[in-house]
Structure 1
Amino acid sequence: MRQIVVTGGTGTLGRVLVRRLLARGCPVRVVSRQAHTPGEHGWAVADLVTGRGLGAALTGAGTVVHCATTNGRRDVDATRRLVRAAREAGVRHLVYVSIVGVDAVPLGYYRAKAECERLVAESGVGWTVLRATQFHDLLVRMLDGLSKAPVLLLPRGVAFQPVDVRDVAERLADLTEAAPAGRVADFGGPQVRPVESLAEEFLQARGRRRPVLRVPAPGGAVKALRAGGNLAPEHADGRITFAEYLAERY
């Protein structure tokens, strides 16, 4: 079996995916900007933003899973360099992790993700793109920051469908071992819930007492969220609920 190269293999999703692949007996190489001592998997030193070391990092790779992400144009530039290096290295399968709603919610980060999807699809390499809803971890970071104020203010009429990275990693491992499939079905968490309900559950888990107020919020992004652009209710395939995640974490 040819090597599976994972970018962002030390990140929130990437490190869980790497463990899943190793448990399945897959040979894995993680791309990092820093040198590491080899352990259960190999390491390759490369910088996606500059392209330094990418060619060597992908030597002998059959599949590349692109979990790494930065901000805005850097994300697009990094993906463009990775696509070029994958094509030159003879990679057979390029797997990209994206976000549900990148073509519906007008946020700069989402627009960059949509552009990265396009680069992968037009790469000339066999490809798979999986969009997932928001990770539990992301929602917790958001609520943790908002709840530092005396009153927790939330946009009215917005819902989220948080998903656990372990569920996404399992699905991603399946796709990595399979043949290129193009844009596959979205992957959502098990529940669609109003953001104020999720916030109250978070506050209880953290032992914080804050009034939670729903307020009208302007802007195209909030309008798209109110319309459910970030949701995939027909693909509620995740198993671990937000409450279960909070119970484990806190």
Structure 2
Amino acid sequence: MTTILVTGGTGTLGRLVTERLRTGGHEVRVLARHAQPYAVDLIRGGSGLDAAVAGVDTVVHCASTPRGGDEQAAVHLIEAARRAGVAHLVYISIVGVDAVPIGYYKAKHAVERQIQESGLGWTILRTTQFHDLLVRVFEGMGRLPVLILPAGVSDQPIAVSEVADRLAELAVDGPAGRVEDMGGPEVRTFPDLARAWLRATGRRRPALTVPVPGKAFRALRAGGHLTPGNPVGKGTFEEHLAARYAGGATAR
């Protein structure tokens, strides 16, 4: 039995990874800002981090935020892992972090490089966006009378549960370096995905596609965030929507 630390272990992905590892018989510690006994803010670091990694064989690094600070958090985690003699650091990243010039993607790519240069044994998995993210995007758009969608952009959403399964597998194996990217089962246009969300929620909205300028959207239109050659996910967006809105949604 190995001792595994999951950072961001109370989040959407980290919680599922933790469950799977515990089901597999491993001792799992959860590190999050408000999760006792390992309540640590990775961006700030501190002595609590050393206690969290002491005696740990593997760290699964799921903690991340688009609000900034991922690179500093990685510095603190890597330093603590070195002091503790951690053998394996597993990191979840995003397909396209090296191709799409978005601030959050650039930070994730920088963390990849930090891990690769850390001197620790490491594994990095990149996946496409989770179904949940698209739902949040559409729910935000749905507050307006018209859905405004970026023209020419597609997505390849994947079930977070499938990513959790893969991360748990990687955590109990040895360091594997950069493993094969993991994408959802289908590449779908944004209007197509939006129509699926509208049907599932019973909302009625016209959808308008508009061209969006800039390098980031040029990269998205080129499919820099997609991995059509690796459609390993099984769960579809419609299946996710059916489960999420099983209790019914009020049309608005």
> Structures share a fold, TM > 0.5?
yes
Residue correspondences, number: 244
Deviation >6 Å, runs of 4+: none
Contact 1:2/1:60 (8 A) holds in 2: no
In structure 2, the residue corresponding to 1:70 is in which secondary structure?
coil
| TM score, norm. by length of structure 1 | 0.95
Aligned residue number for residue 27 of structure 1: 27
CA positional deviation for 1:213: 1.2
Contact 2:10/2:35 (8 A) holds in 1: no
Aligned match for 2:159, one of 153, 156, 164: 164
Tell whether 2:109 aligns with 1:114.
yes
With 70-79 and 186-195 compared, the bigger mean Cα shift is at 70-79
Aligned residue number for residue 14 of structure 2: 14
Gaps of 5+ in 1: 37-42
Aligned residue number for residue 187 of structure 2: 192
Alignment of 1:32-47 (within 5 A): 32-36=32-36, 43-47=37-41
Alignment of 1:85-124 (within 5 A): 85-124=80-119
Aligned residue number for residue 206 of structure 1: 201
Aligned match for 1:247, one of 238, 242, 251: 242
Contact 1:72/1:108 (8 A) holds in 2: no
CA positional deviation for 1:137: 0.5
In structure 1, the residue corresponding to 2:4 is in which secondary structure?
strand
Aligned residue number for residue 51 of structure 1: 45
Q: RMSD of aligned C-alpha atoms? A: 1.0
CA positional deviation for 1:22: 1.1
Aligned residue number for residue 65 of structure 1: 60
In structure 2, the residue corresponding to 1:232 is in which secondary structure?
coil
Percent of paired sites with the same residue? 57
Question: 1:34 & 1:148 partners in 2: Cα distance?
Answer: 31
| TM score, norm. by length of structure 2 | 0.95
